[in-house]
Structures are given as C-alpha cells and as structure tokens.
Amino acid sequence: MRKARVVLSLAVLILFSVVSSSIAETPGRIISLAPNLTEILFEMGLGSRIVGVTQFCDYPAEAKKKPKVGGMSNPSPEAVVTLKPDLVLMTTDGNPKEFGERFRKLGVKTYLFRAQRLSELPHEIRKLGMALDAKREADALAGRIENTLKKLRDRKIAKPQKVLFIVWPEPLIVAGPDTAIDDSIKLFGHTNIAAGTGISYPKYSLEEIIRQSPDAIFIGMGHAEIKEISQGLLRKLGNVPAVRNHRVFFLSDNLYRLGPRIIKGIQEMAECLK
Amino acid sequence: MSKVKISILVLSCLCIFFFSLFLTPSVMNPFTLNTLDRDILVSIRLPRLLVAALMGIALGASGAVLQGLLKNPLADPYILGISSGASLSAAMGLVSGIYLFGQFSIPFTAFAGAAVASLMVGAFGWKGGRLLPERLLLAGVGMSFLFYAALMLLISISTHEGMRRAVLWIFGDLSMADWSLIPWGVLFIVAGLGISLSRARALNALMLGDELAHSLGFSVHRERLLLFTSIALMTSASVSLGGTIGFIGLLMPHIVRFMLGSDNRILIPVSALCGGAFLCIADTVGKSVLSPVEIPSGIVTAIIGSPYFLYLLRKKDVLGQ
C-alpha cells in the first residue's frame, strides 16, 4: 500500500514536471533567422514579438525595421545573444545546423522549422504555432494555405504542359526535383522538364532545353535586372515553343519563400499556364 | 622538333574538336542532320567549342610566356591579379545594377576590370623605366589578395540573391558561350598570340639572363613590356569570355616542355594548341558525365589536371631544367 502511494506520488511528480515544462511561458522575444519564417510570424500577427531578423528579411515592410542579426548562413551569435531572445527560430532550409548547437551552448533556446516542401508547410506551421503559444493563429494560417492548395489542385487543366523554371540565367540554374517550385508545377498536373536531374537546383544543359522543348518557361525575379540578364539566353532558345509562342513569364519572388506568399506565387503561375 | 610529332598533335586536336562537336552529350550524325540538330550544333555546340578553344589557347600561351618571363615554373597567368580584377569588376557591375551594354555587360565589365588590373600590376612592377620580373610577380600576388578580399567583402555584405549565383560565372562557365563575343575574343587573343610568337626568340634570350640577352641584341626592357602586354591581352580576353578556368596556364607549358623541350618558339604555339584541346576535352567531359546537369569546366580541368601535375612534380627533370 505504502509502495503504491510512493509510486503514485512519483508519477504525479513526473507528470507535473513534464506538463510544466511543456507549458513554458509564451516566448515574447523571438528572433527569426529566415525570411520565410519572418513572413509566417507577421502573417500570424506575431510581428510585435519579433526582436531580430536577418538582413534578407525584407517582407513585409515592417520586417525591414527590425534589428538585424546578420545573414542566414552567418548570423552573428553576439548580436543574437545581445537581443536576449526567448526563442530563436531556425530552418532546415538555409541555416547551418552548427548554429543551433552554438546557440544552445550559449543558453539560447532554438526552434527548428523543418518544412522544405509545399506539402509539409501547413503541418509545420501548426507545430510552430504550438511552440509559440499561438495555436489559433497558426491553425487559421495553415487552414488557409490548405484550402487554397486544395482548390488549385482540383482545378481542371486543359492539357498538361512541359514547364521549366529558371532560377538564374547565366550560368543556367533551374529548379529541379524536391523543391517547392517543382511541387507547385506538379500541383496542376504539369511536368517540370528538370525533374529527372536528381539535384534540387542543377546547372542545366542549354541543349537539353532545346531537345525537351518546354511549352512554358518561368524566370524568377531574383534580381531587379533579370529581364536584361535573360536576353542572351532567350535569344539562344528562340526556336523553343515557349519562346516562339511568347510563353516566357517573369514571376515575382513569391514562389521563392516557403511561407504565406507562396500561395500567391502558385496562383500567378496558374494564371500564366491557363 | 620532328614533323611527325607536330602532325600527330594537330591530328589529335582535330579529332578532339570533331568528337566534342558531334558525339557529346548526345550523338549526332554530321551527314543526316535534322533542323533541331542543326540548331543545336550552330547556336550552342559550335560557339561553345570555339570559346573553349580560344580560352585554352590564350591560357596555354600566356602561361608559357609568363613562366619564361618570370623565370618561375609555378607562374600562372592568374597570378598577376588579372582574373581577380575581372571578377571584382564584374561583381561590382552586377551590384550597381548598371546594364549599359545589355547582355555584353558582364563580359565588358570583366574585361575593363582585367585591363585596369593589368595596368596597375604593370605600374607596380615598373621602376626606373624598367619592368622588373620579381616586382611584377609580387605586385600581382599582392593585388590578387586585395581584389579577392574586396570581392569577398562585396559577396558577404550583399543581400542580392542573384549576386551569389552571378559570381559563379566568374569561376568558369562556358555554357553561355555566344557568337557575339567570339570576334572580340579572336581579336584580342590573336593579337596577344601574335606578339608573343614574334617575341619568342627574345624570350629565349631573356631566360639566359639580361646581360646575355642584351649582348645578343635585344632591348631587354622593351621585350619584357611587349611580352607582358601579350599576356595581359590574352588573359583579359579569356577571363571575359568564360571566367576563370584553373590549371591550363600552369599545367600545359610543363607538359609541352616535358615532351618538346623549352625552346619558346615551339613551346608557346604548342602550349596554346594543347591548352585549347585540353579545355575542349574538359568541357566535353563536364557536359556529358551527368547530362543534362553540367559540371563547370573549371572544376573538370582542375580534377583532371591536378593529379597529372602532381605526377609531373615527382619527376624532377621537368622542373629542374
């Protein structure tokens, strides 16, 4: 009987410590180490809790006013610690792993956002919401993304097209498999001609584009003068159906960040492929 | 040098040219070309092969001249800071967003940077009306470090997403080779090659020492200036055609010296020819191995070139001459 009481009290103690550690206080000072995470936080209405961002976090406009802690691959540990964050948000898609270890050693808590593909985004946003004690906001955002994706997926396309997404024209870097861009192309049943390369962002052969003769070419706006930089490439591809039929589209940077804006990017892409 | 050796060399160069043109990355029958094949051949493979050949020729020849001029077996045309100057200038052009020359912007800014870097290195190597080889070498190394550091600074503070990718271009990329740049490349490279070939005898004399060269009737400082100009012309043109391709400038002259001796009248043209052929091979390998994914030629030249260079290094008779 006595033994049972001891076991019971131990169990209660363990349960209590687990519960209390999981209901840690709401992180009020957050540092975001990736532009897509910054956008997700603002979209969830948590902008006021952000105390630091990277130099690449330029959307929405308020993000630019937040203190900077360096780049995605080289944030300054000193700048991070100085801002006394309750939580540092990192992503598997661009932040080096060593920094997580480094921050933990410095006594800074980190959270790792693991979404790299379109399908993983809603689930990862919900998980993030739990960690930030913002479950309702995260659920709403994730639900919005899921609904839009579902609507887009159900849309009937007249004819599947062969598509190429150019990330940078010189040297020619395109979006290959295992990328959110590839997911977006496939969402409507179209084919990404660079899907078989096995590399996410391969340096692609010009000759192969001519052979594959894509029906539509997208060029991402990674640089303000991308149109000028692409001229030479498009002239060489003059006989490809996409270029001949004026189906070369310059897309905004919406598709580049796995965050709330990617939905807009996919809609833009869908409009072009109509 | 025997006529047989030269004929074998020229013949193998022609074979390489034919092989790269028709057989990779996919086979084309030159006698039954359809429109698609002809399009690919004329607008992609041929200009690319010509650019590879031109760059290889320029690097091979300027490497041979530079090693003689500096009397240093480890001199590489890039050691003079010409390539890092070109890289820095192209990167600055991209960051400033000035696109005055449309698609020529990057090659043009690269060439301007290479030319300015050559003039600066030349000015530092110049003292009392003479071009001093040791000063030239050290000035080149110093300038390289400076340009390279400035380039890294630009990359690390830039938030341009395109910037990082654009800098890839600098590290050797032939995939964008285009007919429009070839005439300019030919102009500068042929001019440089012409000067260096016509000064080959003088270079032979210079390698024996200044006094001996002087007594043989050569104006030492004038010859040195001409040879330096030829290197600057060829290297600048090659960097602006397709970025920095390592090893050819360093490796080719040694292989040729090993086969044919160090008479510059033979060394310079044969190094040029072998350099051109080697870059064609490297580019062919780079675009075929993982097709349709391409490996930048600069990486392939170094991967093939380095082990061979190390092998040569073990044979002390190559460097000990």
The DSSP result for B26-76, as a single string, is S---TTS--HHHHHHIIIIIHHHHHHHHHHHHHHHHHHHHHHHHHT-TT--
Chain B partners within 8 Å of A170 (Cβ): 106, 166, 169, 173, 176
For residue B223 the two structure tokens come to: 């010859």
Contact B178 A203 (CB under 8 A): no
Residue range B62-67: average pLDDT? Answer: 94
* pLDDT of amino acid B4: 85
Q: How far is CA A94 from CA A37, A55, A97, A98, A255, in A?
A: 11, 14, 9, 12, 16
Helix (H) or strand (E) holding A112: strand A110-113
Return the DSSP state at A44: T
Q: What percentage of chain B carries pLDDT values higher than 70? A: 91
| Single-letter code of the amino acid located at B207 | M
Helix (H) or strand (E) holding A219: strand A216-220
* pLDDT of amino acid A20: 47
* pLDDT of amino acid A69: 92
**Which ipTM value was assigned to this complex?**
0.71
Q: Does A34 touch chain B (CB under 8 A)?
A: no
CA-nearest residue to B167 within chain A is A171
User: Is residue B27 scored above 90 in pLDDT?
Assistant: no
User: Is residue B318 scored above 60 in pLDDT?
Assistant: no
**What letters, b where the CB count within 10 A reaches 16 and e where it falls short, cover B188-211?**
bbbebbebbbebbebbbbbeeeee
Contact A170 B173 (CB under 8 A): yes
Contact A129, A135 (CB under 8 A): yes
Contact B297, B305 (CB under 8 A): no
Q: How far is CA A65 from CA A48, A80, A144, B159, B275, in A?
A: 12, 16, 27, 16, 53
Chain A partners within 8 Å of B43 (Cβ): 236
d(CA B24, CA B45): 9
* pLDDT of amino acid A244: 93
Chain A partners within 8 Å of B169 (Cβ): 170-171
Q: What percentage of chain A carries pLDDT values higher than 90? A: 51
- Please report which confidence band the pLDDT of residue B194 belongs to, taking 50, 70 and 90 as the band edges: very high
pLDDT per position as a tens digit, A153-168:
888 777 899 999 998 8
CB nearest to A56's CB, from B159, B162, B175: B159
Q: Does A206 touch chain B (CB under 8 A)?
A: yes
d(CA B20, CA B283): 9
- Please report which confidence band the pLDDT of residue B195 belongs to, taking 50, 70 and 90 as the band edges: very high
Contact A117, A185 (CB under 8 A): no
User: Is residue B165 scored above 60 in pLDDT?
Assistant: no
For residue A21 the two structure tokens come to: 């550690």
Chain B partners within 8 Å of A236 (Cβ): 43-44, 178
Chain position carrying tokens 């591809």: A237
User: Is residue B120 scored above 90 in pLDDT?
Assistant: yes
pLDDT per position as a tens digit, A96-141:
888 888 888 888 999 999 998 999 999 999 999 999 999 999 999 9
Q: Supply the mean pLDDT for chain A.
A: 87
Chain A partners within 8 Å of B106 (Cβ): 170
User: Is residue B271 scored above 80 in pLDDT?
Assistant: yes
Q: Which residue has the higher pLDDT, A87 or B1?
A: A87
* pLDDT of amino acid B302: 84
d(CA A125, CA A145): 10
User: Is residue A273 scored above 90 in pLDDT?
Assistant: no
Helix (H) or strand (E) holding A263: helix A262-273
Q: Supply the mean pLDDT for chain B.
A: 85
d(CA B275, CA B278): 5
**Helix, strand, coil percentages, rounded to 5, for chain A:** 50, 15, 35
Which segments of A7-54 are extended strands (E)? 30-32, 50-52
Longest dimension (CA), chain A: 87
- Please report which confidence band the pLDDT of residue A25 belongs to, taking 50, 70 and 90 as the band edges: confident
